[in-house]
Amino acid sequence: MRSIVILALTFLLAFAFDEFSVPEGEDAPLTGPNVVVDLSSSNFTQFIQQHPVVLAEFYAPWCGHCKQLAPHYEQAARLMKDAANPVAFAKIDATIEESLAREYSIEGYPTIKIFHKNSEKPVEYEGPRQPASAIADFVKKYADPTWTPPPSDVVVLTVDNFETFTTEEELTLVEFYAPWCGHCKRLEPNFEKAATSLKKDTKIRLAKVDSTVETALAAAHNITGYPTLIVYRKGGKYAPYDGEQSEQGIVSTMKELLSLPSRELRNMNDYKNLFRKNDQPALIGVFQSDEDELYKLFIDYAYHHRKAFQFGHTFEKISALDGVQAPAIVLQQHSDVRSKYEKDKIVFTKANALESEFEEFVTKHQVPLVGVLTQENQRTTYLSRRPICVVIYDVDFSFDHRERTQYWRNKILKVANDYKDKYTFAIADEEKMSSLLKEFGLEESGEDINVGCFDKDGLKYRMEDDDEFTSESFEEFINKLIKGKVKPYIKSQTLPKQPIVNGIQTLVGKNFEKVVQDQTKNVLVFFYAPWCGHCTKFKPTYAALAQRYASRSNLIVAQIDATANDIPKGFEVAGFPTIYLVPMNNQPVKYEGNRDLDDLVKFIESHSQFKSEL
């Protein structure tokens, strides 16, 4: 009987404390209903306006860190509820309130923001997540009615101060943005933090231009998408920013850009160390002094292209550069990728050269007859070298495997030398460039040697594996390719048995152009990736859009898996989801707005070739 009573009391106690569980180690006798308020799009704005200070947590039900935070967050809310300067605590289920999550650029969970009556924008919460007392102590400074947000370290540029600022500051990163741009909103906190960090110990400045207001500035810099980031140097020189957009990525990239992009070579060891990578050519400046005009051109070029080359310069006599008279610039390939068909060193000697003349010299000589294509130089160099043929195999220049690697490369060299005016040639490692094998549908080929080629328009061709790879069979394939006797390879899923489901037509590589180029239809295309969380969240909205236009016979609402199908030229799909509308005139228009139903309808109505029937 006694055990039954004890068991019953245990259940009662468990039930009593189930509604609110006090974290271990907290000295706060708190009971009763939860204090943290659940917000949705229907009450969010009203709640924020009613309270001077609100701590708002965006969470996901499945998020482990959110679950760990929950009891501490609840107890902190109770501690601050009746404080002298109270703070209201709220939470938003970001998996349900997607529009709020997009509006505040929520990308991870939990994300906590502080909404304050004295600040136009929410402040990122960067305090502790436990215990509750530490959370409460951190937010007390924001609870002070006299608190104001610190001034931004990001300089606002307009047509009035842009030129002066960017030409007089040592180094500036400028963001061209649009207020409605989701990617810009996601970048903003990282940009702000990086600006503050860099201002503390460097002369690097971060600035921004509202391109919807400063239209002349945006047009002068050919701004076509947002955000666009450009690096400016003292004196007015500028180049696109090509670093990461995280806080640390911006800080480290900009600090790197502050240093000289070329290493000074004082001896033969310095010279030899320049050839550390066989997939990047070396550009070596030989100068009398840093007052040489060619030196200034060289350094300026190095600032713009430091990721594509190994840069070095010298004012000394180095035996490996005997015969090179200063001022001059030497372009030299790594010994792994030089051949008997090519010069060891190619020298540029025009002392008063224009930038365009040097650029032309580099473009002509930077790619060896058969170079090594990698993930890095594919973007910086080879992407612009189409038409190109890539021979993919086990490329390994280590001591034990160098001979075999060069054996196959030598078979390619003769053909490459004969057809160098028609195609660029390269080799690629099948493991490191497995994505390239997949691009040509060759990941399951089982062959030791695979060949894939791109023409100038991006169409893909592959060498069939009927015969053994030899110089002769490779040359025969190149000949057929030049004569148009090889059919292009189109990566495509199979056509679905039921292509239209709930008003949405599923496209694949094989039928994409046929459907999209139908001049009797306007076609809206949603490019997605199966793994993309934002795409999954967007699908219900896209389904609602399809239903809204179900009666419109001259509008096709379509979707395509952009990871499993080739996308023709004219569609820039750099991230997911990406949406394009192709009106009856076949000129694709990219959608840049918010991913909500009303904005999508406005976009369709303003760009399609029909009058609204809705």
Phi, psi of 473 (to 5 degrees): -70, -35
> From edge to edge, which strands make up the β-sheet containing 370-372?
370-372, 424-429, 388-393, 450-454, 460-462
Q: Which of 314, 344, 366 is the last residue of a domain?
A: 366
Determine the 3-state secondary structure of 232 from DSSP.
strand
User: What CATH number does the domain containing 66 carry?
Assistant: 3.40.30.10
Q: Are residues 470 and 378 part of one domain?
A: yes
Q: Are residues 351 and 248 part of one domain?
A: no
Q: Are residues 127 and 175 part of one domain?
A: no
| Residue 226, C-beta contacts closer than 8 angstroms, at least 6 positions apart | 176, 177, 178, 181, 183, 184, 211, 592
Q: Residue 473 domain-assigned?
A: yes
CA angle 196-200-203, nearest 5°? 100
Instruction: Take residue 149 and report the two structure tokens written for it.
Output: 């947000």
Q: Which of 319, 349, 366 is the last residue of a domain?
A: 366
Q: Residue 149 domain-assigned?
A: no
What distance in Å separates the CA atoms of residue 234 and residue 242, rounded to the nearest whole number? 19
CB atoms within 10 A of CB 4: 8
Write the pLDDT tens digit of every residue in 406-464: 999 999 999 999 999 999 999 999 999 999 998 898 988 888 999 999 999 889 999 98
By CB atoms closer than 10 A (0-12, 13-18, 19+), residue 492 is middle
Q: What is the pLDDT of residue 384?
A: 85
Which parts of the chain have pLDDT scores under 70? 1-32, 466-467, 610-614
For the chain, counts of helices (H) and of strands (E): 19, 26
Q: Residue 467 domain-assigned?
A: yes
Q: What is the pLDDT of residue 595?
A: 87
Note if 389 is an active site residue.
no
Q: Are residues 357 and 378 part of one domain?
A: no
What distance in Å separates the CA atoms of residue 206 and residue 82, rounded to the nearest whole number? 41
Q: Are residues 136 and 40 part of one domain?
A: yes
Among 181, 389, 453, 535, the one annotated catalytic? 181
Q: Are residues 203 and 188 part of one domain?
A: yes
Maximal CA-CA distance, the chain: 105
How far, in Å, are 9, 58, 112 from residue 142 at the CA level? 43, 19, 14
Q: Which residue has the tokens 């004012």?
A: 315
Q: Residue 336 domain-assigned?
A: yes
Phi, psi of 195 (to 5 degrees): -60, -45
What distance in Å separates the CA atoms of residue 546 and residue 327, rounded to the nearest whole number? 65
Q: What HEC string does 17-70 produce?
A: HHCCCCCCCCCCCCCCCCCCEECCCCCHHHHHHHCCEEEEEEECCCCHHHHHHH
Q: Residue 26 domain-assigned?
A: no
Mode of pairing for the β-strands spanning 238-240 and 228-233:
antiparallel
Note if 66 is an active site residue.
yes
Among 184, 389, 453, 535, the one annotated catalytic? 184
320 DSSP 8-state letter: G
Q: What single letter denotes the amino acid at residue 525?
A: V
Strand-pairing partners, residue 371, are 426
By CB atoms closer than 10 A (0-12, 13-18, 19+), residue 187 is buried
Q: Residue 167 domain-assigned?
A: yes
Q: Are residues 278 and 254 part of one domain?
A: no
CB atoms within 10 A of CB 421: 5
Q: Residue 471 domain-assigned?
A: yes
Q: Which of 420, 452, 483 is the last residue of a domain?
A: 483
Among 66, 389, 453, 535, the one annotated catalytic? 66
Which residue from 366, 361, 302, 360 is spatially nearest to 334, judged by alpha carbons? 366
DSSP class per residue in 134-186 = HHHHHHHHHHSTT--PPPPSEEE--TTTHHHHHHHSSEEEEEEE-TT-HHHHH
Q: What single letter denotes the amino acid at residue 159?
A: V
* Peptide bond before residue 145 is cis, with ω within 30 degrees of 0: no
Q: Are residues 449 and 526 part of one domain?
A: no
- Residue spans of alpha helices (H) in 318-470: 355-365, 375-380, 402-418, 434-439
Q: Are residues 212 and 188 part of one domain?
A: yes
| Domain range enclosing 121 | 36-141
Which residue from 221, 153, 199, 206 is spatially nearest to 175, judged by alpha carbons? 206
Q: Is the dihedral of CA 359, 364, 365, 371 positive or negative?
A: positive
DSSP class per residue in 338-376 = --TTS-SEEEE--TT--HHHHHHHHHHHSS-TEEE--HH
Q: Are residues 378 and 361 part of one domain?
A: no
Q: Which residue has the tokens 């009303």?
A: 598
Q: What is the pLDDT of residue 32?
A: 64
Mode of pairing for the β-strands spanning 328-332 and 345-348:
antiparallel
What distance in Å separates the CA atoms of residue 444 and residue 462, rounded to the nearest whole number? 14
What distance in Å separates the CA atoms of residue 456 and residue 454, rounded to the nearest whole number? 7
Q: Residue 613 domain-assigned?
A: no
Strand-pairing partners, residue 273, are none
Q: Are residues 253 and 280 part of one domain?
A: no
Give the predicted TM-score (pTM) of the model.
Answer: 0.69
Note if 453 is an active site residue.
no
* Peptide bond before residue 122 is cis, with ω within 30 degrees of 0: no
Q: Which residue has the tokens 């594509």?
A: 308
Q: Are residues 360 and 401 part of one domain?
A: no
The total number of structural domains in the chain stands at 5
Q: What is the pLDDT of residue 242?
A: 87
CB atoms within 10 A of CB 455: 16
CA atoms within 13 A on the CB side of 183: 16
> From edge to edge, which strands make up the β-sheet containing 589-590?
500-501, 504-506, 555-561, 522-528, 578-582, 589-590
Give yes or no for a contact between 266 and 212, defined as CB atoms under 8 angstroms apart: no
What distance in Å separates the CA atoms of residue 261 and residue 279, rounded to the nearest whole number? 18
280 DSSP 8-state letter: S
What distance in Å separates the CA atoms of residue 454 and residue 461, rounded to the nearest whole number? 6
Which residue from 183, 245, 178 is spatially nearest to 208, judged by alpha carbons? 178
* C-alpha gyration radius of the chain: 30
Q: What is the pLDDT of residue 79?
A: 94
